[in-house]
Every structure is written in structure tokens, then in C-alpha cells.
Chains A and B, each alone.
Chain A
Amino acid sequence: NAGVMQNPRHLVRRRGQEARLRCSPMKGHSHVYWYRQLPEEGLKFMVYLQKENIIDESGMPKERFSAEFPKEGPSILRIQQVVRGDSAAYFCASSPPGQRSGANVLTFGAGSRLTVL
């Protein structure tokens, strides 16, 4: 069981380019969460997805950011027209289905570190 796989681990983009971060959840997990950790700051929730559905995107910036979790393949966090302030570590976590409300246990990926030049 490979755990939660994120790639790329490191990504460098110039201002205005697009960044795509991928997350494959643990085998058997159908819930995916994305978090952002800005330099010297705490983690912040971004979005919660299940297969083909966005459940909670209350933490997503209103513009340039989008996320999907298609029926086949990994979840993707997409950042269009990146700016220097998007430089951060982006963590994905997953949890299995069937958890009672408020009782999910999260398994985190190793993170993707985005640097915008």
C-alpha cells in the first residue's frame, strides 16, 4: 500500500504560468482534501472532494484555483496564472468512505512544494 502519493514533489513556475499538482489517495480511500502551507504560516484547508464531486471548497481562493477528482485518475489542484504569493507547500490527504461524521482519520501525502519565480 503506497500511501498518499503526490507529484511533483517540487515544482518551479514563472509568474503567469500554470501549476498542476496531483494527488493519488491511498487504496480504498475515496475522500481527498487539499491544504496549503504558506512559508512560516500554519496549514489552511482548501477543498474537500469525493470522486467527481466537490464537497466543500470554502477554503479555495475565489480566482485562479480549481480542483477536481475524476472518476479515473488522481485528484488535481490547478493554479492558473501563478503569482509569487502562491509559493507554498500543498498537501493532500485522504480518508476512507463510511466514516461517521467528525471521525475521519487522515493520511497525508509528502506535499508538493511550489516555487513561483
Chain B
Amino acid sequence: KNEVEQSPQNLTAQEGEFITINCSYSVGISALHWLQQHPGGGIVSLFMLSSGKKKHGRLIATINIQEKHSSLHITASHPRDSAVYICAVRSSDYGGSQGNLIFGKGTKLSVKP
């Protein structure tokens, strides 16, 4: 079993829909990252969380430390949101350094006009 699991693997939505992508992890963590990988391959860091909730524009990220679960929400989705969204955690169990992240396999989002 992977230490970081994302669901769904693939998601197709109509423009304007509210989207939720889920991330569950099985290790203790000191931080959780949400990343966006564009169709061209480039990666952008969206959020870094250790507790609570963060919002940036139409994106909202939440984390529940007790339940070892995080969600990424996109409101009023748009075709330009089409990308792969990746959850990654820095484990506190292994004493890894910063940047030593465990990545989920990603959720491929396609937003249709």
C-alpha cells in the first residue's frame, strides 16, 4: 500500500463545477504539499499545509491531521485548471529532511468547456 493515496485517479468535470480531490496518508507528517503539474510537465507548488485550511483564489486546501486526510477544492472550475494535481507529504516518522517528500501518484483533472 502506498503511503500517500489520492482519489480519484482521473476526474472529468464541466466548466463551472466544484471539484474535490482527496489525499490520504499513512505516516506522521510535518507538512503536506499540493502541487499542480501542467500538461507540458512543469510543476507549480499550490499550497503547503501543516494544519487547518488555506485559500488562494479559487483554490482551497484543507487538512485533518487526526484523520490523516487532506482535500483540494477548486471552485468555479475552468478548462485552464486541467492538469495533474499531486499531493506530497514530508514524513515525521522517518526523520527525513525538508524536501524529502513522499508523493501521491496524482489526480488527472480535465475540465470541459
Question: Which residue of chain A is the closest to B101 with respect to CB atoms?
Answer: A45
Residues of B within 8 A of A95 (CB): 98-99
- The count of residues in chain A whose C-beta lies closer than 8 Å to any C-beta of chain B is 29
| Docked CA distance A102–B42 (Å) | 23
Interface of A is mostly: strand
Q: Are B42 and A110 in contact (CB under 8 A)?
A: yes
- Which B residue sits closest to A34, measured CB to CB? B99
A15-23, A53-61, A75-83: which lies at the interface:
A53-61
Contact check: which of B42, B48, B104 meets A103 at CB < 8 Å?
B48
B26: interface (CB < 8 Å): no
Give the residues in chain A near B42, CB-CB below 8 Å: 108, 110-111
Which residues of chain A come closer than 8 Å to B96, judged between CB atoms?
45, 56, 58
Stretch among B10-18, B58-66, B74-82, B85-93 lining the A interface? B85-93
Cα separation A45 to B90 with both chains bound (whole Å): 11
Contact (Cβ within 8 A) A33 B99: yes
CA distance A33 to B33 in the complex (A): 15
A105: contacting residue among B40, B45, B102, B106, CB under 8 A? B45
B102: chain A residues at CB < 8 Å are 45
In the complex, the chain A residue whose C-beta lies closest to that of B84 is A42
**Which residues of B pack against A, CB within 8 Å?**
30-31, 33, 35, 40-45, 48, 50, 86, 88, 90, 92, 96-106
